[in-house]
Amino acid sequence: MKKICTIPWCIMLMVAAICLTACSSRPDHSTRGAQHDYRLVETLKEADCTTPGEAYYICDCGSYKKETIRALGHDFVEKIISEPTCEKSGEKELTCSRCGLVKQETIFSTGHNWNETVIQEATCKADGKSEAVCSRCGIKEIRTISPSHNYKKTVVKEATCNQEGQVRFVCSGCGDEYWSTINKTSHKYDTDGKCVYCGTRKKGEIKGGSATGLTYFDQKFNVTLTNSCMNIAGGLNLFFDVKKTYDKEGNTNVDQLGFNVIVKDSKGNVVASDTGWVSRIVVDQTVEVKMSLDFKMNYSENYSVIVSSRR
C-alpha cells in the first residue's frame, strides 16, 4: 500500500476543525454554491486490472471524502502464434502488460477469394464451364455453368378490366417458348365517367349533409355534391351526420329509417331519384345510404339533392 501523506489522522482532523470555515471565507468559495478544491491525501488501496482501489481527498476548508478508484482493465499485448489460412483458423496469444495474465484467442479463417473465368459458354441445352482461382492460396476449381435460355417477351393480348391478357416468351437461342397470363386491370374511365373497356359507369358520392333534428316523418334536408363527383355517372352513396332522431313517442335512436332522394338540376328538373334504408341509427354517427342513382353530371351544372326521411 502506497501512502502519499503520512500525517496522522488525529492531526489532520485538528487541521480540518481549525480551517472549517475556510471555503466560505475565500473569495472563490462563497457560502452560496461553494465548490471544494479537493486534493489527494492518501491512497488506501491501489487499483489493479480487475479490482477497484480507494483513496482519501481533502479540501483547504477541512472537508474530506473517500472515493473509489476504478479498476484499470487489462492492457493486452498481442502475439500471433499461427496465421489463419483460407480454410483453417489461426491462433493468437494476449498478455497483459500490467498483471501478466495470458490468454489465447482464435483467429477465424479468411475464406477463399475467388477469381472466376469462363472457359466454355453454356448453351440453352448444354452445360458450360468456368475456372475459379483463389488469389490467396492459389487453389483452383472447375465449376459447371447450368444451361440458360435467353427469353424475349412479347405481349400478345393486353389485359383489360373484364379479361386477362397474355404474354409469350421465346428463347432466341433454341426457340423454346412458354406463355403467361396478365392479370385484369382496373377500369379506365373517360371524361364522362364511363370505362373505355367495358362501359361501366364510375360511382360517385353525395356528401356534406347535416340531418339536425331529423325525424322519421317527412323531414327534409339538403346535401351537396362534392367536386369528386363531377362529370361522372353511376351509382351514388349518400353520407350525412345524424344529430338527433325521434320515433312517434319521442324516443331517440330510431332503429330503422327510410330515405327518399331526389336530384334536381339548376332548372329544377328531376334528373334522378331513389330510396334507401338505414338500420341502427345512433345520435352523432355518420350514416351511409347506398343508392342506385344513374345520371350524367358535368362541371357547368349545379345540382340540388333533397333527402326526406320516412318510416
222 plus 289 within the same structural domain: yes
Domain CATH number, residue 293: 2.60.120.820
Does 65 reside within a domain? yes
pLDDT in tens, 9-39: 444 444 444 444 445 444 444 444 568 899 9
222 plus 306 within the same structural domain: yes
283 plus 232 within the same structural domain: yes
Name which of 301, 300, 227 is nearest 263 in CA terms. Answer: 301
Q: What is the mean pLDDT of residues 241-259?
A: 60
210 plus 296 within the same structural domain: yes
pLDDT at residue number 61: 87
pLDDT beyond 60 at 209:
no
Q: What is the mean pLDDT of residues 141-166?
A: 92
* Distance separating alpha carbons of residues 94 and 202, to the nearest angstrom: 77
* Distance separating alpha carbons of residues 216 and 259, to the nearest angstrom: 9
118 plus 102 within the same structural domain: no
pLDDT at residue number 230: 45
Q: How many CA atoms lie within 13 A of 233 on its CB side?
A: 15
Does 197 reside within a domain? no
Does 51 reside within a domain? yes
Q: Residue 81 belongs to what domain range?
A: 76-107
Extract the C-alpha cell encoding 282: 345512433
Least confident of 92-96, 159-163, 215-219: 215-219
Q: Are 276 and 291 in contact (CB under 8 A)?
A: yes
Range with top average pLDDT, 48-62, 243-257, 273-287: 48-62
pLDDT beyond 90 at 153:
yes
303 plus 214 within the same structural domain: yes
In the chain, where does DSSP find H-type helix? Answer: 9-18, 22-25
Reduce the DSSP state of residue 138 to 3 states and report it: coil
219 plus 124 within the same structural domain: no
Q: Are 23 and 61 in contact (CB under 8 A)?
A: yes
Is pTM beyond 0.85? Reply is no
pLDDT beyond 60 at 110:
yes
**Could you tell me which residue, 132 or 21, shows the higher pLDDT?**
132
Name which of 101, 51, 58 is nearest 76 in CA terms. Answer: 101
Extract the C-alpha cell encoding 157: 393480348
Extract the C-alpha cell encoding 55: 483513496
246 plus 290 within the same structural domain: yes
246 plus 274 within the same structural domain: yes
Does 1 reside within a domain? no
**Could you tell me which residue, 41 or 10, shows the higher pLDDT?**
41
- Count of domains for the chain: 5
Least confident of 64-68, 200-204, 208-212, 255-259: 208-212
What percentage of the chain reaches a pLDDT higher than 70?
Answer: 61
Does 2 reside within a domain? no
Q: What is the mean pLDDT of residues 47-73?
A: 92
219 plus 291 within the same structural domain: yes
Q: What is the mean pLDDT of residues 237-253?
A: 58
Does 14 reside within a domain? yes
Reduce the DSSP state of residue 14 to 3 states and report it: helix
* Distance separating alpha carbons of residues 291 and 177, to the nearest angstrom: 50
136 plus 225 within the same structural domain: no
**Sign of torsion, CA 228 230 233 239?**
positive
Does 194 reside within a domain? no
Does 211 reside within a domain? yes
159 plus 238 within the same structural domain: no
**Sign of torsion, CA 248 249 250 251?**
negative
pLDDT beyond 50 at 60:
yes
